[in-house]
Amino acid sequence: MLPALPPAEAVAAFRNRGKRLEPSFAWQDLWHEDHATAFTVAKSTGFDILKDLHQSLADALANGTLEKDWRRQITPILQAKGWWGRQAMEDPLTGETKMVQLGSARRLHVIFDTNLRTAHAAGRWAQIERSAELAPFLRYSAVLDSRTRPEHREWNGTVLRWDHPWWDTHFPPNGWFCRCTVTQMGESDLARLGLTESDGPPADPAPPRAYINPRTGEVSEVPAGIDPGFAYNPGRTGSPPAPTTPPASPSPSPAPLAAPLAETIPGRAARAAAAKWVDAPPALAAAAGKDATAMLPALEADFATWVERIATGQAHAMGDKRVVGTLSEPVLEHLAAEQIVPESGAITLLDRDLTHFIRRLKKDLGKAPDLADLEGIPSSIANPQVVIWDADQRNLLYVTAAAGDEDRTLKLVVAVNHAIKQRQADGKRAIVQTNAVIHASRMDAQILSQDRRRYILIEGSLE
C-alpha cells in the first residue's frame, strides 16, 4: 500500500514528467529513462487523454487520493473522449489494424499503481541523494507474504551503499505491482539494529535474460527477478530536485521536447539500428553506415532531441553514449596504413563530452560550435566536406560547413580506440574502446591546407 501523502520530491518528479506528454501505442515505445522523464499511456495515440490522466494522477499523488476515488473521477472523462472498451486501432509502427483494450477498470488499476509507485521511487531517491553523506546505506525491504516474488524475498535485508551500481537496476519497484521499498541508514542505525553492510549483491538465481523490445528491436539484458522495463532507477534517471522555495515569479513551462509519434518511433528504431554498429566488425559497420542514408533523418532527429534535453538541463541517463555514425571504408584503409586496428566501426559521442561542448557555447564565442552544429553531428559524420588524419595528434578530423556561417567550418575530432569506463550488464564498470567525438569547434579551413605534413587528406577536397 502506498503512503497516504508522498514527499514533495515525489510530486515534483511526477509533475516534471508532465512536461513531455508522449502518445504511444505500446508501453515499450518508451524505455527506462524515457519513462522517467516523460508521461505516456499505451494505446493513447489519437486520443486527447494524456493531459487529463497526468493532471488527475498528479492531483491524486499530491492529495493522497485513494485509487477507487481517482477511478471514479477519471472514468467519465475518458469515456466522454471515446477512450474506453475494446476498439480497432492502427499500429503506427506497422500500419496493422488491431483490436486493443483502451480504458477499463483493470487498465486504470495498472496506470494508477505503476505511475504512483515510480513517482514515490523518484522522490525517495532525491531524498537519498540529499542525505547520503549522513546515511550512506540502503537496505532492501520486501513484503514477505504469499505474493512476494522469490527473487525479491532473497533480496530482502540486503544492505549496500547508496552509490553501489546494484541500485541502478534493482532500486524498487522491480516489476508490475512490486511493493518492495528501501530504508536509508547511517552507521549508527546499522549498529543499533545489529546489521552490517552486505559483502555484495545477492547472487542471482539465473543469468540475465535477453529481452528484445518488440517496438524497436533493441536488445537489453534483464536481471532475474525484474520485469522487462523495470531494470532502472526512476530517480537516478529522471528525478529533478524538489523545489525548496517557490519561484520568484511564474515562468512559462518549456516546450515539450517530444516529437510526434510518427517521428519518435522511427527515431528510436534508427537509434537501435545504429547501436548495432558498435559490436559489428568495422568493415561491416562501414558498409552499414554507407547504406543507412534513408534512416539518417530519423537518427539525427532522435539525436537532436537528446542534445536539446542535455542543453536545457533535462534529466537523462548519466553515462549515456550515442552512436553518431561509422568509420568509412577509405578511413579504415588509412588507419590500416597507420597500423591502427579500430576495435569498433562505430563513432560515438558521450554525454559528458556533449556537456563540455555545450558549456563552451557561452564562453568561447567564435570558436565554439552552436547548438545547430551539435544537433547536426550525425550528418557531419555521414557527409563531411573532408576527412583528415591529424598526424601529430593521431586523430581523425571531420570537417563540414558550420551552421549559418559560410566563412567558417565545423571541425569534429574523433579519437580512434578512445578508452572510456562504461557500466556493464553486471553493474560493474569496465574499460572499453570506442571511436569518440572528443572535440568540436569552428575554424578557418585554410589552416588545414597550410600544413600538409600534419593534416593528411583521406576523403573530400579542401578546394
pLDDT in tens, 144-153: 988 899 999 9
3 state SS for the chain: CCCCCCCHHHHHHHHHHCCCECCECCHHHCCCHHHHHCECCECCCCCCCHHHHHHHHHHHHHHCCCHHHHHHHHHHHHHHCCCCCEEEEECCCCCCEEEEECCCHHHHHHHHHHHHHHHHHHHHHHHHHHHCCCCCEEEEECCCCCCCCHHHHHHCCCEEECCCCHHHHHCCCCCCCCCCEEEEECHHHHHHHCCCCCCCCCCCCCCCEEEECCCCCCEEEECCCCCCCCCCCHHHHHCCCCCCCCCCCCCCCCCCCCCCHHHHHHHHHHHHHHHCCCCCCHHHHHHHHHCCHHHHHHHHHHHHHHHHHHHCCCCCCCCCEEEEEECCHHHHHHHHHCCCCCCCCEEEEEHHHHHHHHHHHHHCCCCCCCHHHHHCHHHHHHCCCEEEEECCCCEEEEEEEECCEEEEEEEEEEEEEEEEEEECCCCCEEEEEEEEEEEEEEECCHHHHHCCCCEEEEEECCC
Virtual CA dihedral for 370, 376, 382, 385, nearest 10 degrees? -40
What is the spatial distance between Cα 39 and Cα 23, in angstroms, rounded to a whole number?
A: 8
Among residues 228, 242, 258, 280, which one has the least CA distance to residue 39? 258
The whole-number pLDDT of residue 319 equals 74
Give the pairing type, strands 346-350 and 429-443: parallel
Residue 315, pLDDT score: 61
pLDDT at 239: 39
Structure confidence at residue 364 (pLDDT): 60
Q: Are 145 and 153 in contact (CB under 8 A)?
A: no
Dist. CA 123–CA 235, nearest whole Å: 7
Instruction: Return the C-alpha torsion angle 58, 60, 63, 69, nearest 10.
Output: 160
CA distance 119 to 7: 10
The 10 Å Cβ neighbour count of residue 5 is: 12
Distance CA 218, CA 235 (A): 23
pTM beyond 0.95: the answer is: no
* Residue 392 CB neighbours (<10 A): 9
φ and ψ at 254, to 5 degrees? -65, 150
pLDDT of 427 reads 57
Burial class (CB within 10 angstroms; exposed 0-12, middle 13-18, buried 19+) of 20: buried
> Cell 505511475 belongs to which residue?
115
CB 35 within 8 A of CB 239: no
Residue range 233-291, pLDDT digits in tens: 988 754 333 333 333 333 333 333 233 333 344 677 788 888 889 988 899 889 888 88
How far apart are the C-alpha atoms of 447 and 444, rounded to whole Å?
6
- For the chain, residues with pLDDT lower than 50 are 1-5, 238-265
Closest C-alpha among 210, 212, 218 to residue 272: 218
Cis ω for the linkage preceding 173 (within 30 of 0): yes
